[in-house]
């Protein structure tokens, strides 16, 4: 490590679609308003695999992705006043300017700084990493947590207590609040509700957990993989089925043919067909929450507009569970400490950064609820 740069080891995407390559790179010193973070753990979210598959293209390559992360601040840029060297932090893939309309309305998850997420630059429009040939390397979401050190803007980090394990803390950067918030905030699950959750991965399992903790009478999990159905029952699902059609039939059997109060789509790769099938599970005035992502060009079809209007149903989008990260992160970690939510149990396996391609193969093959990269330093 020199006075001005840091040698780092990271997983890099050089072509889309493609695979990650593990490379030694050079990271610049923090500029004003930025911090240098020793990234300790990074969650393996499906959103990052959408970059690899080119479902969610990145405009600048090569790129270091990864947006679930936790670590330690090791250096400060000028003008950083509310963070200190040694602070433990959780990353926020939605930076918070604190000044735009959305931040002012308490909707930090929709901050206008979100426009930087795919660009791969920091707020000033420049890059912080160079490869061995001196070429700029982008960092998605202004984070790039698939690197053992990273420059982050102070608007992208949230200080947390030091007694939370890093591999647990990184989970509340995305998957946990997005899933729990899908039920708690976006579906507005009430005591006695019947809820269908389609897709039991890192977000879906937390949607199940969120629906159960909100008092749902029945939480009906749907996943074609038996392992995931079994895990859903451990997190609060009351029933688990392999297909949406089975879940629809069961929900309607409980409600005199009406259907579920709400349904949440958290599959790995969303399609119009899955949304339409899940829409059919909800009752009049029911809510369908669309949390999953797929190809960026996919457009919704297959839902009858007369039924949507006359049955007064609602299709609700979802970013970060409708929460502001600076509100959600401390709440969720406090609940974890009081054993009110399960976080340790989410981690199926930890991996080294060199194993990232294997880790994502495991995710796509349904072997993981959540894998976590534990960085070496």
What pLDDT is recorded for position 2? 40
Share of the chain above pLDDT 90, in %: 88
Considering the domain architecture, whether residues 130 and 224 belong to the same structural domain is answered as no
Position of tokens 């931040």?
Answer: 103
Q: Are 12 and 21 in contact (CB under 8 A)?
A: yes
Shared domain check, 128 and 246: no
Query: Residue 107, exposed/middle/buried by CB under 10 A (0-12, 13-18, 19+)?
Result: middle
pLDDT tier, 56 (very low <50, low <70, confident <90, very high otherwise): confident
- CATH number where 279 lies: 3.40.50.720
Q: How many domains does the chain have?
A: 2
Tokens of 54: 């080119």
Cα–Cα distance for residue pair 196/74, rounded to 1 Å: 44
Would you tell me how many other CB atoms lie within 10 Å of the CB of residue 49? 19
pLDDT digits (tens, 9 = 90+) for 188-209: 999 999 999 999 999 999 999 9
| Helix, strand or coil, per DSSP, at residue 24 | strand
Q: The domain spanning residue 86 has which CATH number?
A: 3.90.180.10
Kindly state whether residues 311 and 187 are assigned to the same domain.
yes
Q: How confident is the model at residue 57 (pLDDT cuts 50, 70, 90)?
A: confident
> Are residues 239 and 116 both part of a single domain?
no
How many of the other CB atoms lie within 10 Å of CB of 24?
A: 10
Name which of 8, 75, 35 is nearest 158 in CA terms. 35
Average pLDDT value for the chain: 94
Question: Structural domain of residue 25, as residue ranges?
Answer: 6-173+343-374
Distance, CA of 60 to CA of 190 (rounded, Å): 43
Distance of CA 294 to the CA centre of its chain: 14
Residues 6+ positions from 310 with CB-CB distance below 8 Å: none
């Amino acid at each position: 490590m020199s006075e001005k740069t840091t040698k780092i080891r990271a997983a890099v995407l050089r072509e889309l679609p493609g695979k990650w390559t593990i490379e030694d790179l050079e990271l610049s010193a923090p500029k004003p308003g930025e911090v240098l973070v020793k990234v300790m753990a990074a969650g393996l979210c499906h959103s990052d695999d959408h970059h690899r598959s080119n479902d969610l293209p990145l405009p600048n390559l090569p790129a270091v992705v990864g947006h679930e992360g936790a670590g330690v601040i090791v250096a400060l840029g000028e003008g950083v006043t509310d963070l200190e060297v040694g602070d433990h932090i959780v990353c926020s893939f939605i930076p918070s300017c604190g000044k735009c309309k959305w931040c002012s309305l308490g909707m930090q998850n929709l901050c206008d700084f979100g426009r930087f997420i795919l660009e791969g630059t920091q707020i000033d429009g420049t890059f912080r990493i160079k490869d061995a040939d001196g070429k700029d390397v982008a960092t998605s979401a202004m984070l790039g947590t698939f690197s053992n050190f990273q420059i982050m803007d102070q608007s992208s980090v949230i200080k947390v207590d030091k007694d939370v394990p890093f591999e647990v803390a990184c989970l509340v950067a995305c998957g946990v609040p997005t899933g729990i918030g899908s039920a708690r905030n976006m579906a507005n699950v009430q005591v006695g509700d019947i809820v269908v959750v389609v897709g039991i991965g890192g977000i879906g399992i937390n949607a199940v957990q969120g629906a159960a903790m909100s008092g749902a009478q029945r939480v009906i999990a749907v996943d074609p993989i038996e392992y995931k159905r079994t895990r859903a029952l451990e997190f609060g699902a009351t029933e688990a089925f392999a297909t949406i059609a089975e879940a629809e039939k069961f929900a309607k059997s409980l409600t005199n043919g009406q259907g579920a109060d709400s349904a949440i789509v958290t599959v790995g790769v969303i399609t119009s067909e899955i949304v339409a099938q899940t829409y059919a599970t909800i009752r009049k005035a029911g809510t369908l929450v669309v949390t999953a992502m797929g190809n960026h060009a996919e457009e919704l079809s297959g839902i009858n507009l007369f039924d949507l209007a006359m049955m007064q149903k609602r299709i609700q989008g979802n970013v970060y569970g409708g929460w502001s990260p600076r509100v959600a992160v401390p709440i969720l970690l406090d609940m974890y400490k009081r054993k009110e939510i399960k976080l340790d149990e989410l981690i199926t396996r930890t991996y080294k950064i060199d194993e990232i391609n294997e880790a994502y193969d495991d995710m796509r093959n349904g072997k993981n609820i959540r894998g976590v990269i534990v960085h070496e330093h």
